[in-house]
Structure 1
Amino acid sequence: MLDLNGQSANLEANEAQSADNAVKILPSYLAGKWQTSNQDLRTVYHAITGEAIYQVSSHGCDMKAAVEFAKKNGSQIASWTFHERANALKQVASYLLERKEEFYTLAKATGCTRKDAWIDVEGGFGTLFAYSSLVRRELSNETALVEDAWIPLSKQGNFGAKHILTSKAGVAVHIDAFNFPIWGMLEKIAPTLLAGVPCIVKPATEGAEMTQAVVKHIVESGFLPDGALQLICGQTYDLFDHLGPQDTVTFTGSASTGQKLRAHPRFNQYSIPFSMEADSVNSAILTSNANEETIDLFVREVFREMTTKAGQKCTAIRRAFVPAHLLEQVQNKLISKLQKVVVGNPELENVTMGALASVKQKHDVAEKVKLLSQDAQIVVGGHLADFKVEGADANKGAFYPATLLVCTNPTQAKYIHQVEAFGPVSTLMPYQNLQELADLVARGEGSLVASIVRNTDDNVEELVAKIAPWHGRLHILDASNAKESTGHGSPLPHLVHGGPGRAGGGEELGGIRAVKHYMQRTAIQGSPNVMTQIGHSWTAGAEFFEDRVHPFKKSFDELRVGERLLTARRTVTEADIVNFACLSGDHFYAHMDKIGAENSFFGERVAHGYFIVSAAAGLFVDAAPGPVIANYGMDNLRFVEPVKIGDTIQVELTCKQKTPKPLKDPEQKAHGVVVWDIKVKNQRGELVATYDILTLVERA
């Protein structure tokens, strides 16, 4: 137990018992220790049975010490390279996946079915895998990210700039919502840790047991340095008072709570980035020319978003817009599907929808439905009394029926555009024309996502242009992509998750964008030599080194960044052009038609661009067996000047960057990727082509 002097006992089982020895207390993990308190406790109840299952309290925990511990110990992760961080994340994901059944068991207490829990559990682990792969694929094996190419700022090219991103010297505080206690944490800490920044996670009280179990296993795994991940089970108390100019805060939850947190004076004082992802009244739109197949797709999507996780998704469809002439047809189809929903204990095979996260949440949804019913008529569900619950007591559990409302006059409505009932609730409404539809969608004042369900040949360009500014993501569904679509309510690691206005104005996920959010962008001005030194990547104009040994005869470890080969020359002949045309099948007039070429932009016949690339390879490649394994690819190819018959070309090959690759097979020879800067010039020293080639090269 933690006393007020900050003394703490390590809890072997990672849990303590409350004073009456009946309900366990979830410990926080702060400053390298599991610690808890018997004061200011909050009890959490089983969503199905209503029984008390655990308590939380972080009363007396030293938040200042936690922040300092993160910056002193957890900052070690900033000294790791991107690939080292990514590999650690992959190991964490594998470790957690092996223990997934424990998390599925805990998820039962939150009221969700196994299918619902899959999104949270394996969806969360999948996010770690996805981010690990993304970073290993797109970022170099360095500690800092060079964001752009050399920007010359002088005539002679001896002074210029680049932008670099470095890990912030602070901590990221992540405050999560109750609906996805595992995924909600992992989708935030993945880009944070990859950016080299330690995290302090504060889960919602409901569901905190699942978050705590995941953190416990991550700590036990030992794949992350001490202080890289800390956990608060309870309240944050004075945590924000100890944050400073290098720190970051993210929040997921209700807009009202987020706005209160955002107003903390510390954030304004130190310009602390505060990223908010708030619940919003997301939309689904059926286009006006919808056929029977499209209507069925629309109904399926709305139904799925209403019933998955009992409608407790920040992306769930709250407003469903249909053409006025199709309102009755869509309404009848939705009612038919919703009447077949079986609510109850998710452990029963016939149950298709479980409970909400808590009884408190149940009553909150009921209150919100009352408000919505002032604008719309309830056609299915909507009442806590008189609905059947399978295998559980409806009064003790947090059950709420799937509820559909219909608003026939949405232009005059108020609550349906402003109030979100965070449960299995949606409102169906008609629109008359495109402009009215766009106006109605905008009355949601900013949403995470909208779906447009269309016939395959419908042109939705105008609709997208009108509603895109109000959304973080648009999901366009039709028969051609329905089988492979990830669905309206599925945020993906590669795509932005967030939205404007009411949705919080923040951005989570979004691929490498999310990693950059936790890093500091700095413009570096100086010479090419300085840029090469800082970015570990050769910059045009920097010093280079020449050796009598051909660079293709050197192993990965022997090569030096800046090592250059100036090749022999080759004069391009008419025979070269004719032979390449016959070999490639490329008989474009600018290469083969003398009269056509004379009347063209070039004024005479020119060599194929790809012949120049091939001829360049012939000049710089060393043909004998050696450490170069294979050509790995080509980037940034540009043809700058035409090469005409009689022109002579020469190649400058410079070792630009080296990145060791991790071995997937222990039997495989160690190797790395070498990026070579290629410049092809003519007899006048003019640049005719420039590109990077990548080779796999054996290590010594």
Structure 2
Amino acid sequence: MDLLKNHVGGQWIAGHGDGIALRDAVLGNEVARVSSAGIDLPAAYRYARETGGAALRALTHAQRARLLADVAAVLQQNRDAYYDISMQNSGTVRNDSAVDIDGGLYTLNYYAKAGAALGQHSARTDGDAVSLAKDKAFQSQHVMVPTRGLALLINAFNFPSWGFLEKAAPAWLAGVPLVVKPATATAWLTHQMVKDILDAKVLPEGALSIVCGSSDGLLDPLSPFDVVSFTGSAATASVLRRHAAFADRSVRLNAETDSLNSAILGPDAAPGTEAFDALVREVVREMTVKSGQKCTAIRRILVPQAWYDETAQAIAAKLAKTTVGNPRNESVRMGSLVGRAQYDTVQAGLRELGGVCDTLFDGSGVSLVDADPAVAACVAPHLFGTRDADATDLVHDLEVFGPVATLMPYRDAAHANDLARRGHGSLVTSLYSADTAYLGATALDLADSHGRVHVITPDVAKVQTGHGNVMPQSLHGGPGRAGGGEELGGLRALGLYQRRAAIQASPDVVAALFPAQASDASSPPADRN
């Protein structure tokens, strides 16, 4: 099987040794191999900073935005091939592949359009100039400039396309070169996208590198002006934070990690109401899309005590209709986990939750479609429940990263909010009610412990973007165990890759920082190859 090469220092280089096997998530056969052994990472990082960084900083925001549009066009041309790779290596049905692939393209195009409006400067202001003297003869202007380092993107296995592109788009727009380290298990899709981009020569030399395989030594060559954007487990993030790159050299780290997200049914949303039905639909969707392998998936379902049984029955009835198995079969609505290692991890989590909770829907009895249960990484949905959420600590501490959620009752609105906060910081919570006063108060009450509060009333049920869908216009991240990081949120995302400084000077000098330019924002960069 082919060994996927790394692209560093402006060239494709094969890692040493036999490498690590990537497998079809359902059939189990090997689809590719990766190795990063023997790669000269210090030299690779210097090339990215000195060659790619210099080229990107020489461009205006509008010109960098053109690069994003060009990259999006290249990826769009190869979209069908990405769907095939996703089906094999990630075990996803077509709709789930779209969340990853088309979601990544949407994000890239969003930043291309947003960046075009930033105009013909390579840096930008942060607020208005303020006076430091009574006669306004001396002022302070805050500016945002590209960091003179690289952005190391360490991505998770569940989104090999979107996870790459949602970080890449704001980094390139900010003027910073990338070194991409995809999760090994699903690196094939990211690698193919990077190869297509590089083959098309739409980026400056050094603006994009990729390292596939082991992460050994990945952090050692980082310098103080580099940035690391990490998505993965809280345990791995904890290890990263102790590395000398962050502890001693103050490399900037953005982390997005585990999250026990919640969905809350409002006190007014009785069975039969539109809000009740909306929660049931959203829970089932979040449990089954990408086989529950989303950092934003609903893990805890909080409902009024009186409606615990009806909610359990409604969710279980919908889960029973979900066909699970080989995504090559058109009747299958939910594919597999990304591999047998993840399968084993989820099975262990199911045993733990099953030991302290009631089983409200047992997916172990579901027959797989065109898939061998001894080989395929398929796990059918499981719904657990506990009637005493206060005493069952495990449901607030353990995230089973698969098609798994736990139902629990609450006494009143304050109790529900307390339970939601038991996740110790989450990426998202969603609220379902027709009571706008309740929703407004609850949204603000939970905003301190959640990166996003997703509020569903009957009037937005058909247009809302989804509890687990991360939109580039809105913040993605969360406090506490969710990592304490921030991504996206429109142009706020550029702040991770740019440095803020205060320029203190006369009004004439402040005005000279960003002189008016007559050049057309649509004009192409002078030399992108």
TM range (shorter): over 0.9
Equivalence for 1:684 = none
1:660: Cα distance to partner? 2.6
Distance (Å, rounded) in 2 between the aligned partners of 1:40 and 1:374: 41
Equivalence for 1:346 = 327
Q: Aligned pair 1:31/2:9, yes or no?
A: yes
- The 1:38/1:159 distance shift into structure 2, 3 A limit, reads closer
Equivalence for 2:481 = 502
Distance (Å, rounded) in 1 between the aligned partners of 2:470 and 2:116: 21
Letter in 1 for 2:21: T
- The 1:661/1:481 distance shift into structure 2, 3 A limit, reads same
Q: Aligned pair 1:71/2:52, yes or no?
A: no
1:458: Cα distance to partner? 5.3
Equivalence for 2:293 = 312
Equivalence for 2:431 = 452
Q: Choose from 226, 229, 242 the match for 2:208.
A: 229
1:127: Cα distance to partner? 0.5
Q: Aligned pair 1:94/2:108, yes or no?
A: no
Equivalence for 2:527 = none
1:44: Cα distance to partner? 1.8
Secondary structure of the 1:660 match is coil
Q: Aligned pair 1:161/2:140, yes or no?
A: yes
Equivalence for 1:521 = 500
Letter in 2 for 1:171: L
Post-superposition CA distance 1:354-383 (Å, at most 9, x none) = 000001111101111111123211121253
Equivalent runs, 1:100-499 vs 2, <5 Å = 100-109=79-88, 110-137=90-117, 139-291=118-270, 292=272, 293-383=274-364, 386-455=365-434, 457=436, 459-499=438-478
Distance (Å, rounded) in 1 between the aligned partners of 2:36 and 2:247: 26
Distance (Å, rounded) in 2 between the aligned partners of 1:465 and 1:148: 26
Equivalence for 1:543 = none
1:343: Cα distance to partner? 0.5
Distance (Å, rounded) in 2 between the aligned partners of 1:387 and 1:38: 43
Q: Aligned-pair RMSD on alpha carbons?
A: 1.4
* Higher helix residue share: 2
Deviates more, 1:386-395 or 1:403-412: 386-395
1:237: Cα distance to partner? 2.1
Letter in 2 for 1:133: K
Contact 1:456 1:479 in 2 (8 A): no
Post-superposition CA distance 1:291-320 (Å, at most 9, x none) = 422111000000000000000011000000
Post-superposition CA distance 1:106-162 (Å, at most 9, x none) = 01111100000001111101110001111222x232011122222122233221110
Letter in 2 for 1:444: G
Distance (Å, rounded) in 2 between the aligned partners of 1:37 and 1:239: 14
Contact 1:344 1:391 in 2 (8 A): yes
Letter in 1 for 2:360: V
Deviates more, 1:456-465 or 1:46-55: 456-465
Contact 1:103 1:210 in 2 (8 A): yes
- The 1:659/1:482 distance shift into structure 2, 3 A limit, reads farther
- Higher Rg of the two aligned structures: 1
- The 1:382/1:343 distance shift into structure 2, 3 A limit, reads closer
Distance (Å, rounded) in 2 between the aligned partners of 1:222 and 1:169: 23
Contact 2:64 2:173 in 1 (8 A): yes
Equivalence for 2:22 = 44
Distance (Å, rounded) in 2 between the aligned partners of 1:261 and 1:532: 42
Distance (Å, rounded) in 2 between the aligned partners of 1:400 and 1:148: 50
Equivalence for 1:624 = none
Contact 2:63 2:521 in 1 (8 A): no
What TM-score comes out, normalization by structure 2 length?
Answer: 0.96
1:659: Cα distance to partner? 6.1
1:223: Cα distance to partner? 1.3
Contact 1:77 1:196 in 2 (8 A): yes
Contact 1:299 1:333 in 2 (8 A): yes
Distance (Å, rounded) in 2 between the aligned partners of 1:122 and 1:45: 23
Query: After TM superposition, where is structure 1 displaced by more than 6 Å over at least 4 residues in a row?
Result: none
Distance (Å, rounded) in 2 between the aligned partners of 1:70 and 1:186: 18
- The 1:663/1:237 distance shift into structure 2, 3 A limit, reads closer
Post-superposition CA distance 1:644-698 (Å, at most 9, x none) = xxxxxxxxxxxxx65634289xxxxxxxxxxxxxxxxxxxxxxxxxxxxxxxxxx
Distance (Å, rounded) in 2 between the aligned partners of 1:303 and 1:215: 34
1:494: Cα distance to partner? 1.2
- Count of residue pairs the alignment pairs up: 520
1:247: Cα distance to partner? 0.5
Gaps of at least 5 residues in structure 1 are 1-22, 537-560, 562-656, 665-700
Contact 2:269 2:433 in 1 (8 A): yes
Contact 1:375 1:414 in 2 (8 A): no
Distance (Å, rounded) in 2 between the aligned partners of 1:59 and 1:329: 55
Distance (Å, rounded) in 2 between the aligned partners of 1:94 and 1:279: 33
Contact 1:140 1:659 in 2 (8 A): no
Deviates more, 1:368-377 or 1:503-512: 368-377
Contact 1:279 1:315 in 2 (8 A): no
Q: Choose from 61, 66, 74 the match for 2:39.
A: 61
Contact 2:224 2:245 in 1 (8 A): no
1:71: Cα distance to partner? 1.1
Letter in 1 for 2:155: D
Gaps of at least 5 residues in structure 2 are 525-529
Secondary structure of the 2:420 match is helix
Distance (Å, rounded) in 2 between the aligned partners of 1:128 and 1:207: 21
1:54: Cα distance to partner? 1.5
- The 1:47/1:152 distance shift into structure 2, 3 A limit, reads same
Secondary structure of the 2:180 match is strand
Post-superposition CA distance 1:570-622 (Å, at most 9, x none) = xxxxxxxxxxxxxxxxxxxxxxxxxxxxxxxxxxxxxxxxxxxxxxxxxxxxx
Distance (Å, rounded) in 2 between the aligned partners of 1:407 and 1:57: 45
Contact 1:64 1:239 in 2 (8 A): no
Distance (Å, rounded) in 1 between the aligned partners of 2:387 and 2:357: 7
Contact 1:369 1:382 in 2 (8 A): no
Distance (Å, rounded) in 2 between the aligned partners of 1:409 and 1:165: 50
Secondary structure of the 2:83 match is helix
Letter in 2 for 1:54: A
Letter in 2 for 1:129: N
Distance (Å, rounded) in 2 between the aligned partners of 1:240 and 1:113: 35
Secondary structure of the 1:303 match is helix
Secondary structure of the 1:353 match is coil
